[in-house]
Amino acid sequence: MSARIVLAWMFVLMLPLAAHSRHRPAPDPKAEARIHRVEKVAENVYCIFGQGGNIGLVVTERHAVLIDDQFERLAPGLLAAVKSVTDKPLKYLINTHFHGDHTGANLVLEKQVMAIVAHTNVRTRMKQAQAKLETSQQGGLPELALGESDPKVKARLNIYLDGTEMHLAHFGPGHTDGDLLVGIPSSLVIHMGDTVFMGMLPFIDLEGGGSFDGLVAQIAQMVSWLPEAVRVIPGHGPVCGKKELLRYLEFLKAVQAHAKAHPERSPKALAESFDTASWEKEWKPNPAFVTWETLFEAATGRGPGRVTAPTKP
């Protein structure tokens, strides 16, 4: 990525947003502190695992930057995990998309960072969800919003912090309509949010503006120029490299090709006729979240892409 720095533009599953922390008892730090595990990815980049999406932590000379933050109730444990790595103050919080397992702790962290940064569609969707809540329960919205409401319009923001450069890029609809990829070129690390799932079938949120074909195009574009030594922080699953990303692209293309070769078949029939055995060791279905049938719903645009609760009579 080589574009010049740009100013911030007038700039889950959608989960109900929890009440703002200042209007309810604070979570017990001891109860949540041991959930998180920290893995060093590069000299100044870490991945924090917990419950929900993977969190990135970038440590610069004088500050720290978080990429996603999981759930509000886990915020004390998350901050303890950050503290185990660095005492430097958090300056920015970047949200890779709007889902609650990536943005839930915004409500707590907004007081600790200078700004929350996300795609404009993330702010829009979070604001719409919060409109259903009492005013006292609202908060944690991104203050800096990158890009335009049309998700097909690409967007880019470079952050220069204490000599560390971070590239925030939106390439179009994929997992949602507001995905951001966050690259740290000097460390050869990229946080790809939920555009990448490792170990489980990917969720493409069609109700959240996602696109299966758009996701395939994004991953193909990324592997075309990412260096061989890159380390990839996925939205879910273990940290991986370019080899695994290429295999992920091969998998997505196989699903895409099967769906396009049999347009008359239902998602259920597509799932039953697909060679799942070749892929399930690496991408396992979850009967409560994403199954082979719901994946083909996403690939054909005929469903939300995830298991939904039965409609009450």
* Prediction pTM value: 0.88
78/72 Cα distance (integer angstroms): 10
pLDDT tens-digit readout, 154-198: 999 999 999 999 999 999 999 999 999 999 999 999 999 999 999
Q: Tokens 């889950």 belong to which residue?
A: 12
User: Residue 209: is its pLDDT beyond 80?
Assistant: yes
CB 101 within 8 A of CB 52: yes
Model confidence at 19: pLDDT above 50:
no
Residue 22 pLDDT greater than 70, yes or no: no
Domains of the chain: 21-243 (3.60.15.10)
- Inter-axis angle of helices 242-261 and 212-225, to 10 degrees? 150
Of 98, 120, 108, nearest in space to 76 by CA: 108
Amino acid sitting at position 221 = Q
Indicate the pLDDT class of residue 312, thresholds 50, 70 and 90: low
More confident residue, 135 or 311: 135
Q: Residue 208 in contact with residue 98, Cβ under 8 Å?
A: yes
Over residues 37-83, the pLDDT tens digits come to 999 999 999 999 999 999 999 999 999 999 999 999 999 999 999 99
Evaluate whether 117 touches 144 at the Cβ level (below 8 Å).
Answer: yes
Per DSSP, 183 falls in state E
**What residues have CB less than 8 Å from 299, skipping those under 6 apart?**
204, 212, 255, 256, 259, 267, 270
